[in-house]
Amino acid sequence: MDRRVAPELPGSPVAAALWRAYRTEAGDRWYLPHGGRRTDPEELEREIAAESGAGLVPPRGHPLVARYGDEAAGSAGIRLPDPATAELTRVFLYRGMRGRGGAALLVRAAEDAARASGATRLIPDTRGDPVEARALSARLGFTETEPHNGGPAAEHWFTKRLG
Q: What is the pLDDT of residues 71-80, one digit of tens each?
A: 999 999 999 9
Q: Which pTM does this prediction carry?
A: 0.91
Question: Which pLDDT tens digit goes with each residue over 102-149?
Answer: 999 999 999 999 999 999 999 999 988 888 899 999 999 999 999 988
Q: Which domains does the chain possess?
A: 3-161 (3.40.630.30)
Is the pLDDT at 37 greater than 90? The verdict is no
Is the pLDDT at 32 greater than 90? The verdict is no
- 67 vs 92: CA distance, rounded Å: 12
